[in-house]
């Protein structure tokens, strides 16, 4: 669609009433232009909803209390934005009641399915509140249910987008709303299956949602509004001496985010690259700033960039009879890895052992170990970090290794990856 812009506002940009007002003041300067807005759940709502899911699954008796605390938090935000009689309260309440219905049932046997039916409420209420506030201040905004557009397969918590149908549905549902004039506002992170069951696209998936809409509707450009001035050479929460990158190629952005630069969801870039849609990363705190422009045709000349992935586990696997870990073993191991959807970040094969570095989430690593223990000897080292450096310089690497034990390293032309253990993590007493 001609002149369409897609904006994504993440959790921190709408974490409280003052921030919602800030977002709407940014949007005010785009009044009258076709904009599709994607919003995430407010602040850390998704984390809080994950606790509701856990409490329900484990029948701790706390699920309703945890849900009520989330509802209260949203009511406090609404109280600062709307008059007491505003119809937004009923709309938001209805969305929470839908979750109560889930909690009144026995926990569903498919945890991931149940997870999606509960956590989706974060984006639903957030989008309802922001759209209502935009309308209240005189910026006409249509609320669009992203589940009517984004069709996924039935892999809950990690739905795969069915592109053809999604493009068709975006044209049928979103385009007419945009042509009507005013903004269209929808939820990040959520989609639905063929049989109208809610799915989610993976944690932090709202950036990806914005890219899906940009692709389907041929947006002119897309902007992700963040609490940082743009893409930086490393996470400012972890490092000093970082600088903003003014421009990045799609390729470099894919590499950085794939290796764990938390500023953009890794799946975001590819759909944009396929249609040459420029992506801006800008600050919602200083919206006038230039931000970072991600596009094609950028000269590949970058300073060192660092990404850190925490919660890594190294699984060392050897055969019980000291034979080599050979091809047929690999196929058994990778079968388990694929079935568990264990994300492999690095691996190394030596004469007698195979070591694999994976994301240590939920109980996947334990389950993997259990499944292969009959056939293999397994050792697991946890609480590790995977540090990736693009365009490394020796001094940078030396600095990064300080206070850490290097367990595995891999170098390719532009990338150095290290699996490390922080010295402080070692519990010497237990080792004795």
List residues near ligand ADP by CB under 6 A.
10-13, 40, 204, 226-228, 231-232, 234-237, 261-263
CB 348 within 8 A of CB 355: yes
Q: Which is nearer to ligand ASP, 157 or 171 (CB)?
A: 157
- Judged by beta carbon distances under 5 to 8 A according to partner kind, the member of ligand ADP, ligand ASP, Mg ion, none in contact with residue 261 is ligand ADP
CB 117 within 8 A of CB 157: no
Q: Which is nearer to ligand ASP, 254 or 357 (CB)?
A: 254
Q: Which is nearer to Mg ion, 326 or 361 (CB)?
A: 361
State residue 284 phi and psi, 5-degree precision.
Answer: -80, -10
- Judged by beta carbon distances under 5 to 8 A according to partner kind, the member of Mg ion, ligand ASP, ligand ADP, none in contact with residue 205 is ligand ASP
Give the footprint of Mg ion on this chain (CB under 5 A): 10, 204
- Judged by beta carbon distances under 5 to 8 A according to partner kind, the member of ligand ADP, Mg ion, ligand ASP, none in contact with residue 46 is ligand ASP
Q: How far is the CB of 353 from ligand ADP (least distance, A)?
A: 33
The residue from 34, 43, 182, 188 that contacts ligand ASP (CB under 6 A) is 188
Q: Which is nearer to Mg ion, 10 or 266 (CB)?
A: 10
CB 127 within 8 A of CB 187: yes
Q: Which two tokens stand for residue 10?
A: 């993440």
The residue from 122, 191, 230, 291 that contacts ligand ASP (CB under 6 A) is 122
Between helix 88-104 and helix 45-57 the angle, nearest 10°, is 30
User: Could you write out the three-class secondary structure of 118-179?
Assistant: HHHHHHHHHHHHHHHHHHHCCCCEEEECHHHCCEECCCCCCCCECHHHHHHHHHHHHHHHHH
Q: Which is nearer to ligand ADP, 210 or 365 (CB)?
A: 210
State residue 354 phi and psi, 5-degree precision.
Answer: -120, 125
Q: Which two tokens stand for residue 354?
A: 């195979």
- Judged by beta carbon distances under 5 to 8 A according to partner kind, the member of Mg ion, ligand ASP, ligand ADP, none in contact with residue 191 is none
Q: How far is the CB of 186 from ligand ASP (least distance, A)?
A: 13
- Judged by beta carbon distances under 5 to 8 A according to partner kind, the member of ligand ASP, Mg ion, ligand ADP, none in contact with residue 227 is ligand ADP
> Of 237, 146, 158, which is closest to residue 190 (Cα–Cα)?
146
Is residue 10 close enough to count as binding ligand ASP by CB under 6 A?
yes
Output the DSSP codes for 305-320. EEEEEEEEEEEEEEET
Q: Is the sign of the CA dihedral 42, 45, 47, 49 positive or negative?
A: negative
Is residue 199 close enough to count as binding ligand ASP by CB under 6 A?
no
- Per CB under 6 A, the segment of 40-48, 89-97, 217-225, 370-378 that binds ligand ASP is 40-48
Is residue 266 close enough to count as binding ligand ASP by CB under 6 A?
no
Q: How far is the CB of 300 from ligand ADP (least distance, A)?
A: 17
> Of 348, 312, 354, which is closest to residue 333 (Cα–Cα)?
354
Q: How far is the CB of 406 from ligand ADP (least distance, A)?
A: 22
CB 326 within 8 A of CB 333: no
Distance from chain centroid for Cα 381: 26
d(CA 375, CA 377): 7
The residue from 186, 206, 268, 292 that contacts ligand ASP (CB under 6 A) is 206
Residues contacting ligand ASP: total by CB under 6 A: 12
CB 327 within 8 A of CB 334: no
Footprint on this chain of ligand ASP (rule: CB under 6 A): 10-11, 40-41, 46, 122, 188-189, 203-206
């Amino acid at each position: 669609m001609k002149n369409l812009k897609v904006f994504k506002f993440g959790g921190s940009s709408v974490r409280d009433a003052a921030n919602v007002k800030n977002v709407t003041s940014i949007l005010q300067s785009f009044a009258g232009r076709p904009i599709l807005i994607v919003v995430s759940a407010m602040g850390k709502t998704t984390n809080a909803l994950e606790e509701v899911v856990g409490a329900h699954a484990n029948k701790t008796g706390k699920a309703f209390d945890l849900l009520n605390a989330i509802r209260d938090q949203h009511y406090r935000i609404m109280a600062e934005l709307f008059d007491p009689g505003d119809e937004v309260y009923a709309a938001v309440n209805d969305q929470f009641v839908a979750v109560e219905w889930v909690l009144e049932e026995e926990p569903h046997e498919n945890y991931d399915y149940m997870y999606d039916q509960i956590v989706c409420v974060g984006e639903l209420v957030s989008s309802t509140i922001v759209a209502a506030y935009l309308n209240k201040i005189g910026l006409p905004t249509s609320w669009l249910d992203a589940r009517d557009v984004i069709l996924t397969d039935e892999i809950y918590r990690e739905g795969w987008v069915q592109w053809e149908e999604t493009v068709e549905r975006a044209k049928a549902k979103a385009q007419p709303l945009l042509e009507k004039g005013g903004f269209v506002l929808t939820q990040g992170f959520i989609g639905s299956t063929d049989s109208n069951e809610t799915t989610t696209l993976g944690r932090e998936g709202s950036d990806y949602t914005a890219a899906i809409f940009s692709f389907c509707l041929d947006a002119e450009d897309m902007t992700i509004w963040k609490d940082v001035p743009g893409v930086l050479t490393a996470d400012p929460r972890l490092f000093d001496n970082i600088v903003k990158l003014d421009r990045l190629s799609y390729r470099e952005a894919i590499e950085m985010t794939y290796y764990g630069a938390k500023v953009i969801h890794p799946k975001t870039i590819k759909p944009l690259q396929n249609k040459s849609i420029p992506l801006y990363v800008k600050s919602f705190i200083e919206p006038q700033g230039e931000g970072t422009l991600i596009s094609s045709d950028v000269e590949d000349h970058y300073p060192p960039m660092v990404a850190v992935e925490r919660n890594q586990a190294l699984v060392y696997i050897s055969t019980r009879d000291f034979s080599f870990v050979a091809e047929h073993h690999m196929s058994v191991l990778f079968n388990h890895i694929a079935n568990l959807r264990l994300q492999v970040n690095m691996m190394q094969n030596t004469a007698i052992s195979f070591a694999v570095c994976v994301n240590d989430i939920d109980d996947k690593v334990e389950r993997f170990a259990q499944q292969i223990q009959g056939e293999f000897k397994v050792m697991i080292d946890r609480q590790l970090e995977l540090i990736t450096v693009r365009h490394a310089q020796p001094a940078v690497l030396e600095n990064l290794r300080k206070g850490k034990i290097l367990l595995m390293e891999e170098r390719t032309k532009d990338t150095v990856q290290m699996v490390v253990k922080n010295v402080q993590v070692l519990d010497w007493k237990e080792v004795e």
